[in-house]
Amino acid sequence: MTQEIVAPLDGKVFQLKINPGDKVEEDEEILVIEAMKMETPIFVPCDGVVREVNVKEGEEVAENDVLAIIDEKHIEV
């Protein structure tokens, strides 16, 4: 299963905290979008591994752009 992380608003990538291959934990902050004088942090919805990062710091993004893709961690039984 993969999870697409999409931009909730138009803005600029202010901070990028992940690279492909990084392990991430549920609700971890992975990047920050600057818009309307405010910084909106983006959190991952699940544990997993970063498969793709589609943006760079300083890049403009539009609402609903896919910022990153996370491979959701499999739960081993």
Partner 1 sequence: MKPYFEKMTEFGNALKKGRIKSTEENLNSIKKIEEDVADEVNRVKLAGFPEEKINARGQMTVWQRLEYLVDPGTWCPLHTLYNPMNNAEGTTNVIDGIGKISGKWSVIIGFDNKVMAGAWLPGQSENILRVTDLSKRLNIPLVWLVNCSGAKLTEQEKFYANRRGAGTPFFRHAELEQMGIPVLAGIYGTNPAGGGYQSISPTILFAHKDCNIAVGGVGIVSGMAPKGEFNLEAAEEIIEKAKQFRAKPPGSVNIHYDETGFFRYVFEDETGVLDGLKDYMKDMPAYHPKFFRVTKPKEPRFPIEDLYRLIPLNPKRVYDFDEVLARLVDSSEHMEFRPDYGPEVYAGLCKINGFLVACIGNRQQYLGRNYPEYADYPGMGGKLYRQGLIKMNEFVTLCGRDRIPVIWLQDSSGLDVGDSAEKAELLGLAQGLVYSIQQTDVPMMLLLLRKGTASAHYLMGGPTANRHNAFTLGTAASEIYVMHGETAAVATYSRRLVKEKEAGRPLKPIIEKMNKLAREYHEKSRPLFCAKNGLVDEILPLCDLRKYLVAFTGAAYQNPKSICPQHHMILPRIIKG
38 binds partner 1, rule: CB under 8 A: yes
27 binds partner 1, rule: CB under 8 A: yes
Distances from the Cα of 73 to the Cαs of 21, 26, 52, in angstroms?
12, 10, 15
For residues 40, 26, 4 and 33, what is the CA-based torsion angle, rounded to 10 degrees?
A: 10
Stretch that binds partner 1, among 34-42, 50-58, 68-76 (CB under 8 A): 34-42
Contact 61, 12 (CB under 8 A): yes
Size of the site for partner 1 (CB under 8 A): 21
Which residues form the interface with partner 1 (CB under 8 A)?
Answer: 8-9, 24-29, 32, 34-41, 43-44, 47, 63
